Chains A and B, each alone.
Chain A
Amino acid sequence: MTTEPVAGSEFIAHEAPTLRETSEEIEYEMRSAEGAMWTGGRLVIGIGAFFFGSLAFAYFYLRSSNNEDLWRPNHITAPTGIGAAVFAFVVASALLYGYGTTRLRAGNTLDWEVTGWVTVLGGFTALGLQVWEFTQLSFFPGSSGYASCFIAWGVMNTALILGGLYWLETLLARWLRLRRAVLDDGGPARSTMPVARLFRANLEGCWYFWGFIAFVNLVFWVLFYVI
């Protein structure tokens, strides 16, 4: 989720300034922090899965009950073009970011920076389209089960993309500040500096999360526009 500091030593710095951690302890806490980043990154996906799972449940529940034949009268569909564009931007952004991450692992920092910022741009475009779509609907929110689910999807997807963008942007911003020191230490892929190690763990979590965003967008694109 976020890069959290390793607070153990932080308290030691204040309360017992002369109490130094052994190198073993530092390494141990370091691994714990990396592990927490790993766990946290996956947990965020779990949280998101149940969140969007609830929407999927609502979708299928209302679809199968079809009360008063008002699940989806006349097969109404939200603006297909905008929906496809949102989907395309999100998936393209995620793929691009994934590509950038592999480039970073290969040691190419510049590629990662460029793809990262382009991803941010793409994400914001998708976000803007998702919000704009609300003004282009051919149905009222309460006119059918489909319409209700679609409104909720718009709100939830906005929150999801916003979350992904925040994560990615903070990573990029932090990278700008760490850039020089980490590059001096062998680059982001190999540096043994604690910040660099945490950065790598964070980066991977963020990539997985973007994969999750793309997956969710794929599923609901199919649900709302294709079938």
Chain B
Amino acid sequence: MAIDTRESVSAEHSGHTAPPVRPTRRRPGWLGPHLGRALVGAVGGYAFGHWIGNVIGSGYINVQGSGQNDVAIVLGLSIGVVGWLAGAGMLDYPLAKIAGREPLPPAPSKSWTRYLGPALDHKVIGLQYTVVVLLFFFTGGLLAMAIRTELLNPTSHVFGPGTYISVVSEHGTIMMMMASSIVIGPLGNWLVPLMIGSRRMAFPRVESFSLWIFAAGYLVILAALPLGGFPTGWTGYAPLQTQATGGMDAYLVGFAVIGIGMICAGFNLLATIINYRAPGMTWSRVPIFVWSVLATAALLTLATPTLVAAGLFGVLDRTAQTAFFVNEHGGSSYLWENLFWFFGHPEVYIMALPGFGIVAEIFPVFTRKPLFGYRIAAAGMIGVALLSFFVWQHHIFQSGINPDMRPLFMLTTELISIPTGFIFLNTMGTLWKAKIRYEVPMLFALAMGFNFLIGGISGVFLSDVPVNVTVHGSFFVLAHFHYTIMGGLVFAFFGGLYYWLPKMTGKMMDRRLGKWHFWAMFIFFNLTFLPLFLVGLLGQPRRVFEYAQNLQTLNDVSSVSAFFLGASFLIFVFNFVKSIFLEPKPAPPNPWNSLGLEWQTPTPVPAYNFARIPVVLADPYHYGTSDGQAVADLGPRTLSLAGVVAPAAGALDAQAVTGEEGSADPRPPIA
């Protein structure tokens, strides 16, 4: 487009004519890029790749008669992903670019079908992400309930050991993949440009690519089940990894694919936040959610390449027969552990920081007070991001690595609890003498604080090496990270959904159903996972299907609660369908009376976000002051400060805006 509009604009201003550009051809209708074509591409690509792999591999002794050709599976999955991306139109522009062509401007679609195809509007992509992460989340949740069903009884079994271990591994992997994008994908993409006063993302095509490859990762990791499942859990430790059957290839390819998506998402968000902040949006006025996205995006961009590299080594071990993780051939099983956790620990904070951001964003609105300690909150997030690169060996304290590193990693791990704890300073300070409004988002934010405290403190127990001897690899660890990820991040995510869905969809969620959802989720979450601390302490290792008889009561409490926890999401789904589709209740542009810049836009938010690039005048937290200072100068006719209803998109009188041009622009010149 740069050519299309830019050129004409510059032609007006400097008298040049646009160079002739031959636009790429756009296929009409059903032939164009969309979900269906992507599926066809994925299936075709898999078949093609599998065939090639068979051609390559059939000459080797260790493939012949083994019943398994990893080359075929890896190539099938990889080319399947490429086919999916091609079907989704993700390769159109990169290929046209080889011939030097410029991209076409986006189709001016208002139809709902734009959600099924490639998009450049970050708001469309954000909603697409929402659907995909919920798909991930509910799939993983069903698998979790399958696990809890098996654990109802210590000795009689529902699943065979192979099925059970596949279910456990799928649950872990799917949830980890989901959690790394659950906030960044939907809310990060949807909100960041609006929060920083930008009309666009820096690299919308990279953003769109990240979504579609993320969705491809879902298909790849699900493909592990028909390929025989994999027995390693989400950590994929070698040599079990090298030993496992075809499903393992899906794990490795799937994680690499998701990793590429995470890198792309982080890359785009970093470039956007750094460069597309509106005039006046200084680093001390950036909303705290954007700070959390910034820290997370940095982790996504820099830590994930290690995962992709480790996945590549694993794939090479399984296909080209290298020996990275095979001790007997000069490799080392510790190599995978180190590489995996070098990614894996920043990943843990990828799954925590956005939750902090959401909570810190919700608290001021519903307490009507400024965020306490804004600077320290931002500094804490950056501190966590930096420190998270130096703690990875605490996952392998008992593995037999050199013991002299242990005190050091114990120290860094415990140090990271200091910046992590800042979120409690912020929320507690904000609560001081506040006027708390118990709306649904606030309830979720409060619950996040409650859960994360338990999760965080139990993390200190785990970091203590002597205590770690007992609790490592037990249900104690499991309860710990479910408290931080599910109790922290997922609660924050649902709080964020209830908070921002009125802006995202233009409809209010039902308050009563939201409270039902909250209380069900909060109570049954705690009933599910609190007993598991005890179960772990009493000696039950993770990922087992048999356990001591005396632990049955605790396990059963957890299992039954898990079913109710799962059911609580039905309330959410019901609420969502009812409030958005069946009995839609239009949301005012600023239902929570928030000062956030994203709330100052009309609902629905026009594709260009802001009719005028806003000039930011203050941070969005000056609640409780009587000066009535506006957050930003949004230009003529679009001012909608707290309480003032903004004009709808259709009513935006463009003529009036253009009429201003050249005459009295009230804003200061941009330096």
The answer to whether any beta carbons of A and B sit under 8 Å apart in the complex is yes
A residues contacting B by CB (< 8 A) are 1-29, 32-33, 35-36, 38-40, 43-44, 46-48, 50-55, 57-58, 61-62, 65-68, 70-72, 140-149, 151-152, 155-156, 166, 169-170, 172-178, 180-181, 184-185, 192-195, 198
With contact pairs A4-B204, A66-B330 given, residues A43 and B267 touching in the complex (Cβ less than 8 Å): yes
Q: In the bound complex, how far is the Cα of B667 from the Cα of A21, in angstroms?
A: 14
CA distance A40 to B597 in the complex (A): 26
In the bound assembly, the distance between CA atoms of A32 and B627 in angstroms comes to: 32
Give Cα distance in the complex from A102 to B302, angstroms.
30
What is the distance, in angstroms, from A66's C-beta to the closest C-beta of chain B?
7
Q: Which residues of A contact B274 (CB under 8 A)?
A: 35-36, 39
A-B pairs, top 6 by smallest CB distance, nearest first, are A70-B330, A173-B100, A8-B199, A54-B309, A35-B275, A145-B330
Cβ-defined contact, A4 with B309, below 8 A: no
Contact present for B330 and A62 (CB under 8 Å) = yes
**CB-based contact B200/A170 at 8 Å:** no
Measured between beta carbons, the chain A residues less than 8 angstroms from B301 are 43, 46-47
B658 touches A18 (CB 8 A): yes
Residue in chain A with minimal CB distance to B321: A142
Contact A173 B99 (CB under 8 A): yes
Most A CB atoms within 10 A — which of B7, B332, B609, B669? B332
Residues of B near A175 (CB, < 8 A) are 100
B337 to chain A, nearest CB (A): 11
Tell whether B608 is near chain A: CB-to-CB under 8 Å. Answer: yes
Hey, which chain A residues are within 8 Å of B654, CB to CB?
Answer: 16-19
A8 neighbours in B (Cβ, 8 Å): 198-200, 608-609, 613
With the chains together, A36 CA to B269 CA distance in Å? 10
Q: A50-B303, A152-B312 are in contact. Are A195 and B3 (CB under 8 A)?
A: yes
Q: Is B205 an interface residue (CB 8 A)?
A: yes
CA distance A140 to B16 in the complex (A): 61
B272 within 8 Å of A by Cβ?
Answer: yes
Which residues of chain A have C-beta atoms less than 8 A from B267's C-beta? 1, 40, 43-44, 47
**B42 → A minimal CB distance (Å):** 22
Q: Quick check: B323 and A148 within 8 Å, CB to CB?
A: yes
B508 CB–A CB distance under 8 Å: no
5 pairs, A vs B, C-beta closer than 8 Å:
A14-B105, A50-B305, A58-B324, A62-B324, A67-B327
The answer to whether B5 and A55 have CB atoms under 8 Å apart is no
**In the docked arrangement, what's the CA distance between A5 and B301, Å?**
22
Closest to B610 in A: A8
Q: A51-B305, A68-B330, A177-B19 are in contact. Are A148 and B100 (CB under 8 A)?
A: no
User: Which residues B495-525 have CB closer than 8 A to chain A?
Assistant: none
* Distance to closest chain B CB from A199 (angstroms): 10
Q: Which residues of B contact A66 (CB under 8 A)?
A: 330
A194, B316: Cβ atoms under 8 Å? Answer: no
Task: Tally the A-B contacts, defined by beta carbons under 8 Å.
Answer: 294
**B309:A51 contact, CB within 8 angstroms:** yes
> Of residues B6, B317, B342, B670, which shows the largest number of chain A Cβ atoms within 10 Å of its Cβ?
B6
- Residues from chain B with a CB closer than 8 A to the CB of A54 are 305-306, 309-310, 339, 342
Q: Which B residues have a C-beta under 8 Å from some C-beta of A?
A: 1-7, 9-10, 13-14, 16-19, 21, 94, 97-103, 105-106, 108, 120-121, 198-206, 263, 267, 270-272, 274-276, 279, 301-303, 305-306, 308-310, 312-313, 316-317, 320-324, 326-332, 334-335, 338-339, 342, 606-609, 611-613, 649, 652, 654-655, 657-658, 661-662, 665, 667, 669-670
Contacts A18-B658, A46-B302, A62-B335; A170 near B202 (Cβ below 8 A): no
Report B83 CB to chain A, min CB distance, Å: 19
12 extra interface residue pairs, beta carbon distance < 8 Å, beyond A2-B203, A17-B654, A51-B308: A5-B105, A7-B1, A11-B607, A39-B202, A43-B267, A47-B301, A47-B305, A58-B313, A61-B335, A62-B330, A144-B329, A194-B2
Of all chain B residues, the one with the shortest Cβ separation from A34 is B275
Specify which of B94, B206, B271, B312 is in contact with A156 (CB 8 Å cutoff).
Answer: B312
Query: Known contacts being A21-B9, A36-B276, is A6 close to B200, with CB within 8 Å?
Result: yes
A67 near B9 (CB under 8 angstroms)?
no
Q: Is the CB of B302 within 8 A of A152?
A: no
Q: A173 vs B342: C-alpha distance in the bound complex, in angstroms? A: 39
B669 to A, closest residue via Cβ: A24
Q: For residue B194, give the distance in angstroms from its CB to the closest CB of chain A.
A: 13
Residues of B within 8 A of A53 (CB): 306
A16 B203 Cβ-Cβ under 8 A: no
Tell whether, in the assembled complex, residue B98 and residue A169 are in contact, meaning their CB atoms are under 8 Å apart: yes
B122 to A, closest residue via Cβ: A7
Q: How distant is A39 from chain B, measured CB to nearest CB, in Å?
A: 5
Residues A25 and B607 in contact in the complex (CB < 8 Å), given A18-B655, A36-B276, A54-B339: no
Residues of A within 8 A of B272 (CB): 36
Given contacts A2-B205, A15-B108, A15-B608, are A10 and B19 in contact (CB under 8 A)? no
Contact of B608 among A12, A43, A58 (CB under 8 A): A12
**B203 close to A68 (CB less than 8 A):** no
Q: Which of A2, A15, A147 contacts B607 (CB 8 A)?
A: A15
B275 touches A39 (CB 8 A): yes
* B199: chain A residues within 8 A (beta carbon): 7-9, 11-12, 29
Q: Report yes or no: A178 in contact with B19, Cβ–Cβ below 8 A.
A: yes
Contact status B309-A55, CB under 8 Å: yes
**A16 x B611 contact (CB < 8 A):** yes
For the complex, what is the distance from the CA of A20 to the CA of B660, rounded to whole Å?
10
Query: Are B16 and A184 interface neighbours, CB within 8 A?
Result: yes
Measured between beta carbons, the chain B residues less than 8 angstroms from A6 are: 1-2, 5-6, 200
A212 to chain B, nearest CB (A): 13
B612: which A residues are within 8 A, CB to CB? Answer: 22, 25
B339 partner residues in chain A, CB cutoff 8 A: 54, 57-58
Bound-state Cα–Cα, A176 to B98, Å? 11
Residues of B within 8 A of A7 (CB): 1, 106, 120, 199-201, 204
CB-CB under 8 A from B13, the residues of chain A are 23, 26
Instruction: State how many angstroms separate the Cβ of B314 from the closest Cβ of chain A.
Output: 11
Min CB distance B347 to A, Å, is 13
Does B608 contact A11, Cβ atoms closer than 8 Å? Answer: yes
Q: Which single member of B101, B334, B613 contacts A28 (CB below 8 Å)? A: B613
With the chains together, A28 CA to B612 CA distance in Å? 12
- Among A5, A169, A198, point to the contact of B103 (Cβ < 8 A): A5
Complex CA distance for A52 and B1, rounded to whole angstroms: 35
A residues in contact with B662, CB < 8 Å: 22
Instruction: Find the A residue at minimum CB distance from B324.
Output: A148
Question: Quick check: A20 and B271 within 8 Å, CB to CB?
Answer: no
Nearest chain B residue, comparing its CB with the CB of A184: B16
Residues of B within 8 A of A62 (CB): 324, 330-332, 335
The winner among A43, A151, A156, A192 for most chain B CB atoms within 10 A is A43
B611–A47 touching, CB < 8 Å: no
CA gap between A221 and B19 in the complex, in Å: 44
- The chain B residue sitting closest to A72, CB to CB, is B330
Q: In the complex, what distance in Å separates the CA atom of A194 from the CA atom of B248?
A: 48
The smallest beta-carbon distance between A28 and chain B, in angstroms, is 5
The answer on a CB contact under 8 Å between A67 and B331 is: yes
Name the CB-closest residue of B to A192. B14
Contact A4-B316, Cβ < 8 Å, known A15-B606, A36-B276, A144-B323: no
Query: For A173, what are the chain B residues with a Cβ–Cβ distance below 8 Å?
Result: 97-100
Cβ of A148 and Cβ of B309 under 8 Å apart? no
- Chain A residue with minimal CB distance to B325? A148
Check B652 against A16 for contact (C-beta < 8 Å): yes
Residues of chain A within 8 A (CB-CB) of B309 are 51-52, 54-55, 58, 152, 156
